[in-house]
Structure 1
C-alpha cells in the first residue's frame, strides 16, 4: 500500500482543474479552481457532429489536456507526460509517482469508474491518483463525484485503456514548480487576451461564438435526429449542466475567474465582461433545461426557445470576448 500524505479534496466542479489543484497544492502553489481555469485559457466552444454520434456534441471548453499544457507553459511549470499502449507500463508510470510521494494526473474514460454516478462514455475525464493498495486505486475527482474516492485497479486499467473520441493512450502526468513560485498574477491579463483571441478568431465556424450561433441554427432538429429523445435529450442536458460540456459550468468558472482577476489586478476593464459572463452562465442553464424538457415532452417548442437563447449567447459571449481582447 502507498499513500501520498496531505492530499486534500476541495469540492471542485471540473475534472481537469480538480486534478491540477491537487498536483499544484502538493508543489506548494494554491490557486482557486476559477484561477486555474482562467490561467489555462480554458474557456471555448465547439460544435462537433461526428459520424455515428447519436447527437452533436456541444463543448464549452478547450479540448482535454490543452488547459494543462496552457497552464504549464504560462506559469513556467515542468510538465512530464507519459503515454503507452501497455497496461503494465501504464500502471508502473502512475504507481512510480505515488511511490515517490507525488500525486499523479490520469486521463481516462469515466464510464468504467465504479464510483461514477452517471455511466456515460467520456474519454477526456481527468483524475488525480494519490494512493493504491493491492485491489484499489485512491483518486481525487470532482465534488459531485465524491471528492476522495476509490475504484478497483482493474476498472482503472479499463478506463485508461479505452479508445475513442477524446481518449489518450494511458496518459499520466506530473507538474513541478521550477525554482521559485511563479508570478502568476502577472500572467492573468495575457491569459485572458489569449483566450479571447482564440475564441473570436477560430479558424472554422464550429468554434467560438460562431460555433454557438451554428448550434442555435441546428438545435431545433435534434428531436427528429435523436433515436430515443426521452433518453438522449435529457442525457445531453445532464452532461451540459453536470459535466459542463456546453453548459453553464464553464461560464460560471470564467465569471468567477474574471471577478477574482479584477480584485487581484485592479483592472477596471474586467467588470463589463464579468457581468456578461454572469448572464451567460444563467442563460446556458436555461438552454439545458429546455433541451431536457423537449426530450421528456416530445414537444419541439422548447428546442426553438433554446435556440433563441443560443443566439443571444453567441452575441453576449462575442461582446464579452471582444472587450477582453482589448485589455
Structure 2
C-alpha cells in the first residue's frame, strides 16, 4: 500500500475543514473561512416538525454537503463520490483507493468514533473526516476538529459509516479526480456572498434565514405554557447545543464568516467588507450572550434568571442585527 504523506491542520468545522485539508493536499491552498464563505455556509433554520432526538431541529449553517458541493462547483473541482449498499463493499473500495495513495473524505456518525471523548459522542450522522492510509489493520484518520491525526479500527469505522438514523451516511466516500491548475477566487467569492444574502433574507418560508430567527423567538417565548417546564428546558437546551457544541456552533459560524469577509476584502480590494466583518463579529457576541443566559435558565443556576420571554427578545435582537447586516452586505459593489 502506498504511504500517503498528509498534512493535517485542525479546523473549527468538519465540512469546511475537510475541504481545506483535502484541497491543500492537491496544491490548491484555500483557508477554512474562504471555503465556508464561497460555499455560502452561513444560514439559520428552525424546523419544529423535524425532530432531532425528540426535540425540534435548529441549524445555524446550511445543510450538510452543500458547502462542499458549492465550493467544488465554483472552483472547478471534480469529485468522485460514492455510497454503498453494504459495509463490505464500502471497505473494499476505501482500501482500493487509499492503496493508490489517494486521501479519501468519508461521512460518518460522531457516535461511533472511539477517538472522541464519550461526552462528545452523539447521534450526528453528517461528520466529515479524511482517511489517508493504514497502520496494520487500523485506518489513519485526519479528523479536522482534532488537534492531531489519529487511528480507527475497521469495525468502528464501518459502524460510523453505516449508522442508522437521519441522514444515513450509507458509507459515503469522496475524493478529487480533477483539480484546476490555477484558480481565481474573485467570482466564487461574489457568488458565495450573493447566495448567502439571498438565503438569509429572501426565502419566503418563515422557518429560514432572518425570518426563521423571529419564528423561533416567538415559539421560545411560549415554551413553558405550550410544552411544560421539563420539555421547555429540553427544547431550549437543544437550541443552545446546536449553537455552541455542534460543529462550530451558531456564534462560531458568524465568527468564521466574519473571517471570510476579512479575507475577501483583500482579494476583492473592497474595504467595505472589512467593516462588515467587524459588524458580524459583534453579532456573534450577541449570540454568545443569548447562549450564556439560556444556559443559566436550563441549569437554574441563579434565582434572578431571565424569563423565556426575555430570551425570545434576545433572539429578536439577533434577527434584527442580522437583517441589517445582510442587507448592507447585499448592497456592497463586488
Normalised to the residue count of structure 2, the TM-score between the two structures is 0.88
Alpha-carbon distance in structure 1 between the residues aligned to 2:256 and 2:188: 18
Alpha-carbon distance in structure 2 between the residues aligned to 1:306 and 1:100: 54
Alpha-carbon distance in structure 2 between the residues aligned to 1:10 and 1:254: 19
Alpha-carbon distance in structure 2 between the residues aligned to 1:272 and 1:167: 41
Counterpart position of 1:20: 19
SS at 1:123 equivalent: coil
| Residues 1-327 of structure 1: pairs in structure 2 closer than 5 A | 3-5=3-5, 7-49=6-48, 50-51=50-51, 53-117=53-117, 118-143=120-145, 145-222=146-223, 224=227, 227=230, 234=237, 237-244=240-247, 247-297=250-300, 301=306, 303-327=308-332
Alpha-carbon distance in structure 2 between the residues aligned to 1:67 and 1:181: 21
Alpha-carbon distance in structure 2 between the residues aligned to 1:54 and 1:135: 37
* Further displaced range: 26-35 or 221-230: 221-230
Could you say if the C-alpha distance between residues 201 and 246 of structure 1 is closer, same or farther in structure 2, counting changes exceeding 3 Å?
farther
Alpha-carbon distance in structure 2 between the residues aligned to 1:142 and 1:236: 24
Structure 2: runs of 5+ lacking an equivalent = none
**1:134-182, Cα deviation, whole Å (9 max, x unpaired):** 4422212234x44412222211111111122233321111124444222
**CA RMSD, aligned part only?**
2.4
- Report the alpha carbon displacement of residue 92 of structure 1 after superposing the two structures with TM: 2.2
SS at 2:121 equivalent: coil
Could you say if the C-alpha distance between residues 273 and 52 of structure 1 is closer, same or farther in structure 2, counting changes exceeding 3 Å?
closer
SS at 2:11 equivalent: coil
**1:95-131, Cα deviation, whole Å (9 max, x unpaired):** 2221111211111111111112312111111111112
- Report the alpha carbon displacement of residue 35 of structure 1 after superposing the two structures with TM: 0.6
* Further displaced range: 31-40 or 261-270: 261-270
Contact 2:220 2:312 survives alignment (8 Å):
yes
Alpha-carbon distance in structure 1 between the residues aligned to 2:11 and 2:113: 18
Contact 2:107 2:128 survives alignment (8 Å):
yes
After the TM superposition, which segments of 4 or more aligned residues of structure 1 sit over 6 Å from their partners? 228-232
Alpha-carbon distance in structure 2 between the residues aligned to 1:2 and 1:291: 51
Between the two proteins, the alignment pairs up a number of residues equal to 325
* Further displaced range: 204-213 or 215-224: 215-224
SS at 2:27 equivalent: coil
- Report the alpha carbon displacement of residue 265 of structure 1 after superposing the two structures with TM: 1.3
SS at 1:198 equivalent: helix
* Further displaced range: 214-223 or 71-80: 214-223
Could you say if the C-alpha distance between residues 184 and 112 of structure 1 is closer, same or farther in structure 2, counting changes exceeding 3 Å?
same
Alpha-carbon distance in structure 2 between the residues aligned to 1:226 and 1:97: 52
SS at 1:289 equivalent: helix
* Further displaced range: 236-245 or 286-295: 236-245
Could you say if the C-alpha distance between residues 140 and 322 of structure 1 is closer, same or farther in structure 2, counting changes exceeding 3 Å?
same
Contact 1:290 1:302 survives alignment (8 Å):
no
